[in-house]
Amino acid sequence: MSDLATLLESWEPVIGLEVHVQLACESKAFSPSATSFGAPPNSLTDPTVLGLPGALPTFNAHALELALRLGVATGAKIRARCRFARKHYFYPDLPKGYQISQYDEPLCEEGGIELWLGGVRKKVRLQRIHLEEDAGKNLHHGTASLVDLNRAGVPLCEVVTLPDLHSAEEAAEYMRALHRLVRWLGVGEGDMEKGQLRCDANVSVRRRGEDRLGVRTELKNINSFRFVHRAIEHEIARQVRILEDGGQVERETRLWDADAGVSQPMRSKEEIADYRYFPDPDLPPLAVDGPTMRKVITTMPELPVPRLERFMREYGLPFDDAALLTDDRERADYLDEAVRAAGDGALARPIASFMLTELLRVLDGQPIAKAPVAPAALAELIALVAGEVISGKIAKDVFAKMCASGEGAQHIVDRDDLRQISDEATLRGLCEELLAAHPRQVEQYRAGKDSLLGFFVGQLMKATGGKANPALSTKLLEQLLAAT
Amino acid sequence: MVLTREEVAEIAQLARLALRDDELDALRGELAVILEHVEVLGQADTIGVEPMTHAVPTALRLRADQVEPSLPVAVALADAPAARDGCFEVPAIIKAAT
Amino acid sequence: MSAELAYAGAAELARRVRAREVSAVELTDAFLARIDAHDGALGAYLAVDHEGARNRALIVDAMIAAGQDPGPLAGVPVGVKDVIVTEGLVTTAASRILDGWVPPYDATAVARLRAAGAIVLGKLNCDEFAMGSSNERSGYRPCQNPWDLGRVPGGSSGGSAAAVAAGLAAATLGTDTGGSIRQPAAFCGVVGLKPTYGRVSRWGAIAFASSLDQIGPLAGSVEDCALLLEVIAGADPRDATSIDQPAPSLRPALTAGVAGLKVGLPREYFEGALDPEVAAAVRAAGDALVTAGAELREVTLPHTRFALPAYYVVAPAEAASNLARYDGVRFGHRGGGRELAEMYATTRAEGFGPEVKRRIMIGTYALRAGHYEAYYRKAQQVRALIKRDFDQAFEEVDVLLTPTTPTAAFARGEKAAPLDMYLADVFTLACNLAGIPGLAVPVGATASGLPIGAQLLGRALDEVTLVRAGAELERAFGTRRPPAYEGAA
């Protein structure tokens, strides 16, 4: 694709994403059957989900609250009264022949999602966030299709960006940021493999410096993070190639085929798409009342990007560490809680690096909620290191014991006599014994083989069971070796 | 109000109604008469009038997020014209040519 | 059974059942026998549930024997329009597309009737999906007018009105989207009440035009309509458009009289194509109210002429949308086709009748991109103006008195052109557009003996005043029955 990289010096991709976010509700958007994943086909239906004659929709209060969280977190304008509209098309997975969605009066408009891209902070502006219901699933089966309506009616919100993204990398990073935000807020699980986060991309390219947008294609069926990048990059390359060859991009909807790694045009519908939107007469306008708004605002957590920046500013963390520790909210909470327990901001950085190395290693991909050591206990351990009570190396052993037994760091150190030897006279005596025991190495060192210092430190550690204060030991050994 | 035959056919297509030619022709005439009658709405002065989407102005009552039992699969499928493997069965959806 | 029982009325029958003067089973059997004897020629029923009705009656009798009160409709045999779903009892909306569909649930209104002790005898004929004004558009068979089998019973709730008039149910449920309760009530000489929009839950009412549809009772008397509405009304969590108000208490208003009541005669309803006999009867109704102490004044509803065009945009648009679910996938009729698109188009072409197709076509047209503003949105704005007319009139008067229909029942086949048929609803549509309640009450007959109905329109949620004035008209004009059904079954 280096060939593409060269071409992109003269062509600018313009990308907007429409992402469907499944809201973390127990029951469906417009009826009370369950939303569980993996249930037997058609076992999660009711008259409303099936679109039976006479059935009516009623709206799930929690879906509203979750969508509002996302709206408030993105700084969107929240409509005091929004409206549901019917969007009509015929498809077997759409039981009523229309989807209840929102059209010209969506819940949220404007706002944006912030993300860091190559060391630069960027805000991807949103056009809207609206509420809607999911469709069911068609399984193709030879000359027939089978329809499972379990997913029909599952509450979604659709997050639509302005065409603010300019590369496949940016689009992928936006998806990660949105995914993080959705989970951060408890709005949804965001599992792309389960279809809880689904992405459609509008892609066009134009000559750099050109104001007008090029002809765009809509790319559907991008259902994993990996494919966001691949599918969009593929589409950019496809369009650039067409334009370079003097051709024209056709305005069409294309389906990403992950297996083949290419997109295919969807069969041009044999008719003009006309969704015939109109306000759903079964659902009066949805009013967002004061108490609901207040609840959403007052329970709004510090968001990922501000928190990342605070970690850099207050805790002095490097960007990469701050990013890793704000990848999910529980991690960030863990750090904050540990620092609070330590009562010393200066410990933030060693706590953070211990988390990123030791704790994450122990967790082995599990969420931080599974951490075997509570934040305050970790803070106690790191305080012992900072206070030179134990060495960093001993700290790892102590941590292992904490994980195994749940005992506190101080307790383990005391019981197992793991305190660091920092008394100069004691250490000096030990060092002298060591040098006396290794006359050949002393001679070699003095002959200029400086690297043997490590050998002596190692031997000292071995002799003290790792308890010798490493800095002091090094200093003393240097002094003694330099003497004579 | 003149409707072309193509327009009528297009509406029938959108509405998923297979109509015979004679039906299309008859509907073309009938629709034209009705739409012409409806044209009179243009005479009503509605500047600044909020459309009345609901007969009685109310805000939407919300339902608590609580699950109620689903219909048994057998009941959900009971009246299906065709079913297989716990699913509704429909004729093939013609997909994009590959 | 004696016609006396068949016409005794719901309130009286419930009283007798509760007083053990007659058992629910006896009553049910008697009505079923009358249906078996008369309905072949009349066509009021699409399905009769002999077994279910008897079983239900047995339960009611058992409750009474056990000293329990089955409710205010104890043992009362009722019929339900076929656009209202009934659990376990085939429901088709009189459409071939729902041929044989057995719903897995009850409409709220039906559940409430049952909970009050009523016995559902069967499903009543109507125009397909409630689209029509004559019952000639039933997908199964037409229903006739009990007063003259050559005439239509009105529509769409023709079966509901005819069954009451012929004594084949003590009371019935209908639905009213543009006059579908009131117009057939007037044609058949019975009382029909269209409640305020949202008064009765639409859960289980097969949607025609969701913003206009309302379930309501038809019965032989104002009292019975009031009783049924008391039972079926009230907020329902399953219908987001149901009004958050308890069921009103209506029966005390039956004897309240009309002294001091201000009654308006809307000028626009007495102009144009109004049959002189109907006009005279309605004016006589006004006089009767004055005699009883009411005050009569002329009012104006200037946007009346826009009601029909507004209705014929709003109703078909919503209908086209509501009928999209009949696709041959999950229930009902499926047409042939090896490929999905073909299956859809044949299913719907075979399953829907011509009037339904016509409305789907109009509605689809009106909602198309580029048409929406000029049609649906414009019509909804006009609706607001029509509502405003009523609001202003109700600042001056308490209730409006109008004809229900321009003529008495017309002959079968008389209104062949769609627009002519639509004009039969010209006086009833505005009420639905405004969401206000309306009551059709018999006020005499034409020289040839066909019933004439007056229409009372009230403020939103003020069904009480309709019952007050309606009961007064009933006292003044009495009730009449079609002679052919007076004999024993």
User: Domain limits of chain A?
Assistant: 2-296, 302-415, 424-482
Q: What is the pLDDT of residue C230?
A: 98
Work out the minimum CA distance from C213 to partner chain A, whole angstroms.
11
Q: How far is CA C181 from CA C22, C98, C433, C467, in A?
A: 30, 22, 15, 16
Q: What is the pLDDT of residue C420?
A: 84
For chain A, give the secondary structure using H, E and C.
CHHHHHHCCCEEEEEEEEEEEECCCCECCCCCCECCCCCCCCCCCCCCCCCCCCCCCCEEHHHHHHHHHHHHHCCCEECCEECCEEEECCCCCCCCCEEEECCCCCCEECCEEEEEECCEEEEEEEEEEEEEECCCEEEEECCEEEEECCCCCCEEEEEEECCCECCHHHHHHHHHHHHHHHHHCCCCCCCHHHCCEEEEEEEEEEECCCCCCCCCEEEEEECCHHHHHHHHHHHHHHHHHHHHCCCCCCCCEEEEECCCCEEEECCCCCCCCCCCCEECCCCCCEECCHHHHHHHHHCCCCCHHHHHHHHHHHHCCCHHHHHHHCCCHHHHHHHHHHHHHHCCHHHHHHHHHHHHHHHHHHHCCCCHHHCCCCHHHHHHHHHHHHCCCCCHHHHHHHHHHHHHHCCCHHHHHHHCCCCCECCHHHHHHHHHHHHHHCHHHHHHHHCCCCCHHHHHHHHHHHHHCCCECHHHHHHHHHHHHHCC
Share of chain A above pLDDT 70, in %: 98
Whether residue C207 and residue A54 make contact (CB cut-off 8 A), yes or no, is: yes
Q: Which is the catalytic residue, given C138, C157, C180, C201?
A: C180
Average pLDDT value over all residues in chain A: 93
Q: What is the pLDDT of residue C52?
A: 97
Q: Which is the catalytic residue, given C156, C157, C201, C221?
A: C156
Q: What is the pLDDT of residue C65?
A: 96
Cβ contacts of B17 on chain A, cutoff 8 Å: none
Residues constituting chain B: 98
- To the query of whether residue C448 is one of the catalytic residues in this protein, the response is no
Judged against a pLDDT cut of 90, whether residue C409 lies above it is answered with yes
The 10s digit of each residue's pLDDT in A37-87 is 899 999 999 999 999 999 999 999 999 999 999 999 999 999 999 999 999
The 10s digit of each residue's pLDDT in A99-136 is 999 999 999 999 999 998 888 899 999 999 999 999 99
Q: What is the pLDDT of residue A465?
A: 84
Closest Cβ–Cβ partner in C212, C340, C432 for B91: C340
Low-confidence residues in chain B, pLDDT < 70: 1, 94-98
Instruction: For an interface test with B, give the residue of A36, A146, A289 to mutate (most B CBs within 10 A).
Output: A146
Residue A97 near residue B93, CB atoms below 8 Å: no
Residues C401, C412: Cα–Cα separation, whole Å? 28
Judged against a pLDDT cut of 90, whether residue C418 lies above it is answered with no
Does B59 touch chain A if contact means CB atoms closer than 8 Å?
Answer: yes
Whether residue C348 and residue B15 make contact (CB cut-off 8 A), yes or no, is: yes
Q: What is the pLDDT of residue C249?
A: 96
Cβ contacts of A270 on chain C, cutoff 8 Å: 341
The 10s digit of each residue's pLDDT in C187-240 is 999 999 999 999 999 999 999 999 999 999 999 999 999 999 999 999 999 999
Q: Does this complex have an ipTM over 0.90?
A: yes
Q: State mean pLDDT over C175-187.
A: 98
Q: What is the pLDDT of residue A388?
A: 85
Q: What is the pLDDT of residue B97?
A: 35
Specify the CATH number of the domain A424-482: 1.10.10.410
| Lowest-confidence pick of A304-308, A478-482, B69-73, C92-96 | A478-482
Counting Cα atoms < 13 Å in the Cβ hemisphere of C267 gives 8
The 10s digit of each residue's pLDDT in A88-98 is 999 999 999 99
Residues A345, A326: Cα–Cα separation, whole Å? 18
The 10s digit of each residue's pLDDT in A447-479 is 888 888 889 999 998 888 888 888 888 999 988
Residue B57 near residue C388, CB atoms below 8 Å: no
Residues A465, A451: Cα–Cα separation, whole Å? 22
Work out the minimum CA distance from A120 to partner chain B, whole angstroms.
40
Cβ contacts of A92 on chain C, cutoff 8 Å: 327, 329, 340
Cβ contacts of A92 on chain B, cutoff 8 Å: 88, 90, 93
Peptide bond into A31 cis (omega under 30): no
The 10s digit of each residue's pLDDT in A235-267 is 999 999 999 999 999 998 998 888 888 888 886
Judged against a pLDDT cut of 60, whether residue C1 lies above it is answered with no
Closest Cβ–Cβ partner in C333, C357, C382 for B41: C382
Does A261 touch chain B if contact means CB atoms closer than 8 Å?
Answer: no
Task: Please give the domain boundaries of chain B with CATH numbers for all domains.
Answer: 5-43 (1.10.20)
Q: State mean pLDDT over A372-379.
A: 95
Cβ contacts of A55 on chain C, cutoff 8 Å: 105, 203-204
Closest CA to C336 of C326, C325, C350, C323: C350
Cβ contacts of A50 on chain C, cutoff 8 Å: 330-331
Q: What is the pLDDT of residue C110?
A: 98
- To the query of whether residue C194 is one of the catalytic residues in this protein, the response is no
Closest CA to A322 of A330, A334, A332: A332
Residues C44, C305: Cα–Cα separation, whole Å? 33
CB pairs under 8 A between B and C: 173
Cβ contacts of C98 on chain A, cutoff 8 Å: 53
- To the query of whether residue C221 is one of the catalytic residues in this protein, the response is no
Q: State mean pLDDT over C304-309.
A: 96
Pairing of strands C191-194, C214-219: antiparallel
Closest Cβ–Cβ partner in C197, C306, C328 for B41: C306
Tracing tokens 């936006």 back to the chain, one arrives at A174
Identify the DSSP state of B52: -
Query: Could you tell me how far CA C301 lies from the centroid of its own chain?
Result: 24
Token pair for C69: 């009160």
Average pLDDT value over all residues in chain C: 96
pLDDT tier at C419, thresholds 50, 70, 90: confident
Q: 3-class DSSP state for residue B10?
A: helix
The 10s digit of each residue's pLDDT in C321-351 is 999 999 999 999 999 998 999 999 999 999 9
Q: State mean pLDDT over A402-415.
A: 93
Domain C3-257, CATH class in plain words = alpha beta
The 10s digit of each residue's pLDDT in C56-71 is 999 999 999 999 999 9
Identify the DSSP state of B28: H
Please name the residues in contact with C395: beta carbons below 8 A apart, sequence gap of 6 or more: none
Listed in order, the ranges of chain C carrying CATH 3.90.1300.10 are: 3-257
Residues constituting chain A: 484
pLDDT tier at A272, thresholds 50, 70, 90: low
Work out the minimum CA distance from A203 to partner chain B, whole angstroms.
20
Q: State mean pLDDT over A209-228.
A: 90
Q: What is the pLDDT of residue A1?
A: 46
Judged against a pLDDT cut of 80, whether residue C487 lies above it is answered with no
Whether residue B68 and residue A283 make contact (CB cut-off 8 A), yes or no, is: no
pLDDT tier at A418, thresholds 50, 70, 90: confident
Q: What is the pLDDT of residue A273?
A: 77
Closest Cβ–Cβ partner in A90, A96, A275 for C344: A90
Q: Which is the catalytic residue, given C81, C123, C194, C415?
A: C81
Judged against a pLDDT cut of 50, whether residue C277 lies above it is answered with yes
Closest Cβ–Cβ partner in A61, A92, A139 for B63: A61
Whether residue C342 and residue B60 make contact (CB cut-off 8 A), yes or no, is: no
